[in-house]
């Protein structure tokens, strides 16, 4: 039997009958310390949510948290679903549509990335201004539910320009340098070859990762405004003598995460008070 959104929401509403978040936040690899800033959290393991298969990757805790950041009600997805784990687009859609169904209008998508720019090294923060979808498919393939969003979705302003402006202003106030760039999304789980990285640079990509883009497409489809912000954990393969490993991405992700722990709550406050 296929699980409907109504069944999914009924389970979430048992945990939190009246909670209405303004903003959703997806936390990628090594970025879960942002969730520790939440006050009065209600915790729902993904396993308890019908229609979602939990993440198996080290560094992903797989919890849906409802709580407050700087007194703004938020829903936090701690641990994302990756296609390389075998997660389906259906699960991904369910998870992100929960954010919208709960009442949020904004989504902050975070992730660990490799940098294609030698001058933007590990520990740096990159605000996304566009993407290139190199995933094998699109989460919107199939029958379209018009009550959720349009059949042919525009991705022209996928990473909302107004929100980018607010994010950059907050970063300046906090004196935290933030770069901007284009994310190229690959299936993984193998890292890229040096030749692939050279090709992606020529295509116009600035950072590379194995997530983000499906989340952003689903979010835009259901009407969430998106901010994408990434933690550089390494220089992409071939740009540095250091080997790229998952352990290294977790380690260096923490350095950038410390910046995001300051940036995201301040940004949430600014946006939360404005909407
Ligand atoms: N490639 C792909 N995904 C990544 C990388 C990388 O170099 N670093 C962190 N996530």
Domains contained in the chain, number = 1
Pocket flag, ligand 1, residue 233 (CB < 6 Å):
yes
How far is Cα of residue 32 from the mean position of the Cα atoms in its chain? Answer: 12
Residue closest by Cα to atom 7 of ligand 1? 114
Report the relative pairing of strands 63-69 and 72-78 from DSSP bridges. Answer: antiparallel
Separation of CA 275 and ligand 1 centre (Å): 34
Residue 71's CATH number: 3.40.50.1580
- pLDDT per position as a tens digit, 50-80: 988 765 555 456 899 999 999 999 999 998 8
Alpha-carbon distance of 134 to 183, in angstroms, equals: 10
Cβ atoms within 10 Å of 65's Cβ, excluding its own: 19
Q: Answer yes or no: are the C-beta atoms of 38 and 74 closer than 8 Å.
A: yes
Pocket flag, ligand 1, residue 210 (CB < 6 Å):
yes
Which pLDDT score is estimated for 68?
97
Alpha-carbon distance of 54 to 45, in angstroms, equals: 8
Annotate 19-35 with DSSP letters as a single string: ---SEEEEE-TT-GGGG
Pocket flag, ligand 1, residue 256 (CB < 6 Å):
no
Which pLDDT score is estimated for 1?
46
- pLDDT per position as a tens digit, 245-266: 888 877 887 888 899 999 999 9
Alpha-carbon distance of 127 to 231, in angstroms, equals: 9
Q: Which of these ranges, 86-95, 108-117, 203-212, has the smallest mean pLDDT?
A: 86-95
Q: Answer yes or no: are the C-beta atoms of 221 and 93 closer than 8 Å.
A: no
Which pLDDT score is estimated for 59?
46
Alpha-carbon distance of 124 to 65, in angstroms, equals: 26
Q: Answer yes or no: are the C-beta atoms of 78 and 61 closer than 8 Å.
A: yes
State the average pLDDT over residues 86-99. Answer: 93
- pLDDT per position as a tens digit, 184-194: 999 999 999 99
State the average pLDDT over residues 227-247. Answer: 92
Mean pLDDT score of the chain: 93
Spell out the residues 6+ positions from residue 165 whose beta carbon is closer than 8 angstroms to its own: none
- pLDDT per position as a tens digit, 1-45: 467 899 999 999 999 999 999 999 999 877 888 899 999 999 999
Q: Which structural domain, as residue segments, surrounds residue 145?
A: 5-274
Which pLDDT score is estimated for 270?
97
- pLDDT per position as a tens digit, 198-209: 999 999 999 999
Which pLDDT score is estimated for 61?
62
Alpha-carbon distance of 212 to 185, in angstroms, equals: 7
Separation of CA 115 and ligand 1 centre (Å): 8
Which pLDDT score is estimated for 255?
85
The residue whose CB lies within 8 Å of the most ligand 1 atoms, and thus the one to mutate among 236, 251, 252, 254, is: 236
Token duo for residue 123: 């520990």
């Amino acid at each position: 039997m296929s699980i409907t959104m109504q069944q999914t929401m009924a389970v979430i509403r048992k945990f939190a009958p009246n909670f209405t978040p303004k903003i959703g936040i997806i936390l990628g690899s090594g970025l879960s310390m942002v969730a520790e800033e939440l006050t009065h959290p209600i915790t729902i393991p993904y396993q308890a949510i019908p229609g979602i298969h939990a993440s198996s990757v080290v560094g992903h805790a797989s919890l849906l948290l409802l709580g407050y950041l700087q007194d703004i009600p938020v829903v936090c997805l701690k641990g994302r679903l990756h296609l390389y784990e075998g997660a389906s687009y259906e699960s991904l859609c369910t998870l992100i549509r929960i954010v919208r169904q709960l009442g949020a209008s904004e989504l902050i998508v975070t992730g660990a990335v490799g940098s294609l720019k030698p001058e933007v090294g590990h520990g740096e923060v990159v605000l996304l201004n566009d993407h290139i979808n190199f995933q094998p498919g699109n989460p919107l393939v199939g029958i379209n539910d018009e009550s959720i969003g349009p059949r042919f979705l525009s991705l022209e302003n996928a990473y909302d320009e107004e929100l980018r402006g607010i994010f950059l202003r907050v970063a300046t106030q906090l004196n935290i340098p933030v770069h901007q760039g284009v994310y190229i999304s690959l299936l993984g789980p193998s890292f890229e070859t040096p030749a692939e990285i050279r090709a992606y640079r020529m295509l116009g990509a600035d950072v590379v990762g194995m997530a983000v883009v499906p989340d952003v497409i689903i979010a835009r489809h259901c009407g969430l405004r998106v901010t994408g912000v990434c933690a550089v954990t390494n220089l992409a393969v071939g740009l540095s003598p250091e080997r790229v490993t998952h352990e290294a991405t977790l380690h260096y992700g923490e350095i950038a995460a410390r910046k995001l722990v300051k940036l995201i709550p301040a940004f949430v406050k600014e946006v939360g008070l404005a909407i």
